[in-house]
Amino acid sequence: MGILDNMSSELVLPPFSSTQVYLIDDEPDILKILSDVVALAGLEAHCFSQADNFINEVHCFEGDNILILDLQMPGIDGIEVIRYLAKMENAPELILMSGQDSAVLSGAENLAVAHELVVRGTLVKPLSVRLLRGLLEPQTLRRSKKWGGKTTPSNIVGVEELREALDQDQFVLHYQAKEEFALTDSTKYSAECLVRWQHPIQGLIYPNRFIELVETQGWMPDLTAIVLKKVANQQREWKKEGLRINLSINVSASDITSLILPEVISRLLADNELDTATITLEVTESELMGELTTSLDVLTRLRLKGVRLSIDDFGTGYSSLLQLYRMPFSELKIDQSFVSKMVVDTEALAIVKACILLGEQFNMRVVAEGVEDFATKQLLAELGCQAVQGYFVAKPMSADDFRFWLARQLKSQA
């Protein structure tokens, strides 16, 4: 057995109902057992070991139907199947399965609900026959959610020179270190990548002067592509030097609503022979208030591919808890507005404590940003925060300066 709970050989098959059950799982043994469970429930099963075959063969549904869907599939994955079903009339009710953590399942479930699909429930592998049988019982479960829109920022710098900067790649990356309290691997430090515009006349220009214009002009995919390429190149160089360090990359609302982003990142990492543990994507909480359905799609698929996701500036939005519940994040960054005051402000301290506790309950890594003194860093360590970032640790610096700084830090601890 092992894969599933024991199935009783004494169960009597009830007569088949009109409900059709579709099974998608790439493991033949599991698919066979699922089919047996469906039959024991008196239902007719249609098995698919590839999601591609299901999409190519099933173009419409009649009557009541159920789809038992494994999210982690080669080729077309479960999130893409959900996207396909969302365009169909009379789509089947879903039972979602995954060997990934609960955050991935929750993200996929919320995505399906956002698409107005019926989700009977979710199952973590190894599967329980008892739970699966319960989900196959006649029932109706439909939930709906309404999510808000987004704002449009104002222009800051000239459009033409900014377009020229993108075309000529006048951007550079600076790196701000994060110091780890609890080590999970051989890396003592990680870092956040911060984009800067190296203007040929004005010199270094910070994002507050150009990032809003990039977004309003619809050029964020261009800038993100530049940043991702630079990060991959830098990681490849450091890997040759024996340096393995996780780098965080800030992504925007337009990035997380781009359905091709998971493939772009996977291909970029593969081309540079990098594993997914080398990057974390940071999403500001306010960025999630746009097209939530597509964001759920993209972020959940990124997690399926092994990419870490961080919710940035946590606590500053009006729906913080809801975002943690909806989205499959693996890291929580406490906003610096609370961290910088926590030593002298009891309310700020209470918020920081609550954030750390939330992170622990959601099994998320917690990072505090805006740490500017030893007292704050020490208090965060005592509270169980896993990592800190801020000027007390290090200011943002160029790639070469960061490498030398890191070498000094590691040498001093040897």
Distance of CA 291 to the CA centre of its chain: 15
At 318 the pLDDT is: 53
Angle at 289 between CA 269 and CA 251, to 5 degrees: 25
pLDDT the model gives residue 82? 95
The pLDDT of residue 156 is: 52
For tokens 């996977």, the residue is: 266
Instruction: Give the per-residue pLDDT at 129.
Output: 82
Q: How far apart are CA 262 and CA 281, in angstroms?
A: 11
User: Which residue reads 């043994």 in tokens?
Assistant: 29
Query: How does 44-55 read in b/e, with b if 16+ C-beta sit within 10 Å?
Result: ebbbbbebeebb
Domains and CATH numbers, the chain: 20-135 (3.40.50.2300), 159-413 (3.20.20.450)
Rounded CA separation 233/86 (Å) = 38
Strand spans (E) along 153-219:
171-180, 189-199, 203-205
The residue among 126, 142, 140, 131 whose CA lies nearest residue 41 is: 131
CA distance 261 to 280: 14
Closest C-alpha among 355, 367, 363, 339 to residue 177: 367
Q: What pLDDT, on the 0 to 100 scale, is given for residue 320?
A: 59
* DSSP H helical ranges for 19-61: 28-40, 51-57
In 3D space, the residue among 401, 387, 406, 398 whose CA is nearest the CA of residue 245 turns out to be 406
Residue 92 token pair: 């089947």
Choose among 169, 190, 165, 168: nearest CA to 179. Answer: 190
Distance CA 26, CA 30 (A): 8
Strands 189-199 and 171-180: antiparallel
Contact 120, 94 (CB under 8 A): yes
Q: Please list the pLDDT of the chain residue by residue as tens digits (414 residues).
A: 333 443 433 333 344 446 889 999 999 999 998 999 999 888 889 999 999 999 998 888 888 899 999 999 988 999 999 999 999 888 999 999 998 877 788 889 889 988 989 998 888 888 888 888 888 877 533 332 222 223 333 335 788 899 999 999 999 999 999 998 855 454 588 999 999 999 888 888 998 889 888 888 889 989 999 999 999 999 999 999 888 889 999 998 788 888 999 999 999 999 999 988 889 999 886 666 666 788 889 999 999 999 999 988 787 765 557 767 778 899 999 998 899 889 988 888 999 999 999 999 989 999 999 999 999 999 999 999 999 999 999 999 999 999 999 988 877 776
Nearest CA among 303, 249, 306 for reference residue 275: 306
Side chain identity at 106, as an amino acid letter? Answer: S
Evaluate whether 166 touches 158 at the Cβ level (below 8 Å).
no
Sign for the pseudo-dihedral over CA of 242, 246, 250, 254: positive
- Which residue from 6, 72, 42 is spatially nearest to 306, judged by alpha carbons? 72
pTM equals 0.70
Q: Which of 186, 167, 189 is nearest to 176 (CA)?
A: 189
Burial readout 117-156 (b: 16 or more C-beta within 10 A, e: otherwise) = bbbbbbbbbebebeebbebbeeeeeeeeeebeeeeeeeeb
Total Cβ atoms within 10 A of residue 260: 10
The torsion defined by the Cα of 37, 41, 42 and 43, in degrees rounded to 10, comes to -60
pLDDT at 181: 84
Q: What pLDDT is attached to residue 286?
A: 66
Residue 212, Cβ neighbours under 10 Å: how many?
A: 16
Side-chain half-sphere exposure of 63, counting CA atoms within 13 A? 7
Instruction: Give CB contacts under 8 A, 24+ apart, made by 160-166.
Output: 161/199, 162/210, 162/213, 162/214, 162/217, 162/219, 163/217, 163/219, 165/197, 165/199, 165/210, 166/214, 166/219, 166/222, 166/223, 166/226
Instruction: Please give the C-alpha separations between residue 127 and each of 6, 31, 260, 308, in angstroms, as whole numbers.
Output: 11, 12, 31, 25
